[in-house]
């Protein structure tokens, strides 16, 4: 059996998780009621374990004061059938145990001690009428109804079906059936058949209120009919010394059921950053620009390493695309400097903000409206200079997107290019020497032939043609490599964006979802099976 202290702690835990999630997740009144219950329970359990406080409540003319007199066996309460006579509660204390501290806590000043009669420890309270024309009387009755251990609700044949009684009071006591007795007073005014019919109709109305099975006793305070049965029921409650705990348990049930209703039927799953969110944040962070720059930097570096040497100077006139945005190959992974990427434009920012909102809606799907509103309220500022924007830019700056080492094939092709250049230059110098000898009318040595082409000509032309062809092949290979470099850069940058999304977007929502799951679990521990069943029926 779960102790009431454990259930109270679980209820408090559930409410604190809800409060941590947002101020509007639970109504402020429910939060205040829960905290007040914890204080009240501690005070009640410390005050007295031996007293059972029974409130006799009812409407004007129902005969509750007469019933108190009948239970006590003498005139202790003033009776008037036409107008309310109980201005403030009056306590009848049975037995010799000191109930002073308990009655002080209840703020009941008028007290009558009866050492004999009912079992020691029974405290009967005659409450003001709940339908009194005096507002202070009604408020006093409602205050004490919220504090007593056991409630005896007195109905009469004329007003037992009064909608105000059922809607305002009885219907709200569905979780308090174990600490509630219904008394149909003044049955001496009815014929036996009328008593049976009235009792059947009263039980029907109570069942509609959710109080089916609550004991209903026919009583006549005037003739004493049924008074012994009621006295025996109260004596049994007083002897067991459990009513105060049952009342606190009923209060916990009522509040835990309300918390469970506001938690919904099922918890949301753990949120993760999905593709749409990462795509939008990547665009806002300038990832496509960086990926394009990484590909361009690869192509430029490949041309400088594998291009035809005499034309490489043209490529050197172009700035490295990565250097232009402060993302050179030597940047340290942990460096926190900013990039020089232009800030995201209105379209990118709007798309990122919309993607964050849509993702939060998806993450909160299935949760009650108040919890989804708390998730939406936690949406970060995504404007220029915001934490999200700054973190995205720093993540891009820290991510290595350029190769730190040259590919081997660059060195091999570059070496062949210099060899072909040397061959072309050698052939050109050979042809120049032959031309010089011819200009000086000097005899020239016999020139070797390659087929029908002189060897120096073949060397000069072959070196140039092969160098240019090799440069063209290098460009094709560089394009393939650039695509791979772009893919590597894109993968690395998206991982960096996912990390930022997890920290700035997902983590706050995951915390709220965890609060929801913890609130729901704790409220379930606080609630009894019956209160959970009642919650499902209410839905």
pLDDT at 99: 86
**pLDDT for 341 beyond 70:** no
Highest mean pLDDT range out of 19-33, 78-92, 287-301, 404-418? Answer: 19-33
**pLDDT for 381 beyond 60:** no
Rounded to the nearest integer, the mean pLDDT of the chain is 84
Q: Give the pLDDT confidence of 98-116 residue by residue, as tens digits.
A: 888 999 999 998 888 876 6
Confidence band, pLDDT 50/70/90 cuts, at residue 340: low
Instruction: Report the distance separating Cα 520 and Cα 209, nearest Å.
Output: 26
**Helices H, strands E: what count in the chain?**
20, 9
**pLDDT for 145 beyond 70:** yes
Domains present along the chain, CATH in parentheses: 50-240 (3.40.50.300), 275-538 (no CATH)
Instruction: Report the distance separating Cα 412 and Cα 88, nearest Å.
Output: 104
pLDDT at 332: 43
The mean per-residue pLDDT over the stretch 206-214 comes to 91
Token duo for residue 275: 């593709």
Confidence band, pLDDT 50/70/90 cuts, at residue 348: low
Token duo for residue 103: 């009655």
**pLDDT for 167 beyond 80:** yes
Nearest-5° Cα angle at 17, 13 to 21: 170
- CA 475 from chain centre, in angstroms, equals 54
Structure-token match 């109804």, residue found = 145
Residues 6+ apart with CB under 8 A from 29: none
Confidence band, pLDDT 50/70/90 cuts, at residue 336: very low
Of 91 and 388, which is predicted with more confidence? Answer: 91
Cα dist from 490 to 285, 389, 483, whole Å: 12, 18, 10
**pLDDT for 529 beyond 60:** no
pLDDT at 302: 87
User: Residue 532 — φ and ψ, nearest 5°?
Assistant: -70, -35
Confidence band, pLDDT 50/70/90 cuts, at residue 96: low
Contact 397, 335 (CB under 8 A): yes
Instruction: Report the distance separating Cα 261 and Cα 330, nearest Å.
Output: 57
Q: What's the N-to-C CA distance of the chain in angstroms?
A: 27
Instruction: Report the distance separating Cα 119 and Cα 341, nearest Å.
Output: 85
Q: Where are the alpha helices (DSSP H) in 241-345?
A: 243-263, 275-284, 287-306, 312-316, 321-324
3-state secondary structure 220-246: CCCCCCCHHHHHHHHHHHHHHCCHHHH
The mean per-residue pLDDT over the stretch 22-46 comes to 91
Report which of 395, 155, 154, 365 is spatially closest to residue 266, judged by C-alpha positions.
365
Contact 155, 195 (CB under 8 A): no
**pTM value?**
0.74
pLDDT at 193: 93
Token duo for residue 526: 């606080």
pLDDT at 47: 85
**pLDDT for 83 beyond 50:** no
Residues 6+ apart with CB under 8 A from 12: 34, 35, 38
Instruction: Report the distance separating Cα 360 and Cα 373, nearest Å.
Output: 10
Of 385 and 215, which is predicted with more confidence? Answer: 215
């Amino acid at each position: 059996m779960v102790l009431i202290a454990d259930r109270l702690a679980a209820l408090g835990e559930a409410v604190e998780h809800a409060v941590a999630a947002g101020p509007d997740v639970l109504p402020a009144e429910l939060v205040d009621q829960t905290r007040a219950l914890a204080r009240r329970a501690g005070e009640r359990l410390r005050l007295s374990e031996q007293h059972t406080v029974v409130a006799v409540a009812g409407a004007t003319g129902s005969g509750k004061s007469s019933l108190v007199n009948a239970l006590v066996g003498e005139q202790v309460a003033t009776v008037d059938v036409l107008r309310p006579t109980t201005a403030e509660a009056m306590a009848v204390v049975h037995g010799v145990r000191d109930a002073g501290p308990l009655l002080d806590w209840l703020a009941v000043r008028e007290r009558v001690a009866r050492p004999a009669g009912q079992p020691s420890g029974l405290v009967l309270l005659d409450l003001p009428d709940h339908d009194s024309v005096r507002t202070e009387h009604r408020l006093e009755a409602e205050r004490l109804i919220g504090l007593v251990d056991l409630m005896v609700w007195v109905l009469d044949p004329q007003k037992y079906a009064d909608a105000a009684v059922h809607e305002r009071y009885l219907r709200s006591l569905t979780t308090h059936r174990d600490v509630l007795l219904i008394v149909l007073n003044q049955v001496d005014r009815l014929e036996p058949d009328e008593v049976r019919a009235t009792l059947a109709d009263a039980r029907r109305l109570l069942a509609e209120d959710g109080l089916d099975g609550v004991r209903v006793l026919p009583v006549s305070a005037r003739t004493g009919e049924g008074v012994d049965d009621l006295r025996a029921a109260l004596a049994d409650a007083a002897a067991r010394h459990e009513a105060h705990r049952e009342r606190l348990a009923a209060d916990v049930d009522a509040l835990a059921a309300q918390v469970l209703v506001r938690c919904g039927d099922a918890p949301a799953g753990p949120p993760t950053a999905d593709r749409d969110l990462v795509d939008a944040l990547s665009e806002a962070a300038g990832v496509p620009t960086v990926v394009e720059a990484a590909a361009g930097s690869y192509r430029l570096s490949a041309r400088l390493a594998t291009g035809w040497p005499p034309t490489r100077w043209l490529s050197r006139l172009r700035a490295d695309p990565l250097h232009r945005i402060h993302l050179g190959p030597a940047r340290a992974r942990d460096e926190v400097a900013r990039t020089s990427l232009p800030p995201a434009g209105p379209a990118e920012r709007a798309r990122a903000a919309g993607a964050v909102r849509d993702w939060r809606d998806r993450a909160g799907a299935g949760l009650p409206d108040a919890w989804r509103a708390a998730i939406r309220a936690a949406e970060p500022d995504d404007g220029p200079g915001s934490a999200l924007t700054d973190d995205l830019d720093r993540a891009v700056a820290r991510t290595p997107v350029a190769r730190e080492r040259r590919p081997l094939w660059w060195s091999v092709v570059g070496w062949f290019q210099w060899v072909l250049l040397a061959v072309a230059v050698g052939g050109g110098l050979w042809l120049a020497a032959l031309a010089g000898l011819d200009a000086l009318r000097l005899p020239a040595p016999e020139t070797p032939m390659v087929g029908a082409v002189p060897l120096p000509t073949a060397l000069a032309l072959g070196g140039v043609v092969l160098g240019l062809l090799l440069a063209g092949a290098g460009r094709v290979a560089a394009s393939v490599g650039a695509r791979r470099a772009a893919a590597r850069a894109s993968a690395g940058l998206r991982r960096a964006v996912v990390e930022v999304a997890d920290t700035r977007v997902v983590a706050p929502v995951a915390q709220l979802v965890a609060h929801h799951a913890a609130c729901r679990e704790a409220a379930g521990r606080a609630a009894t099976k019956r209160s959970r069943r009642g919650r499902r029926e209410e839905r």
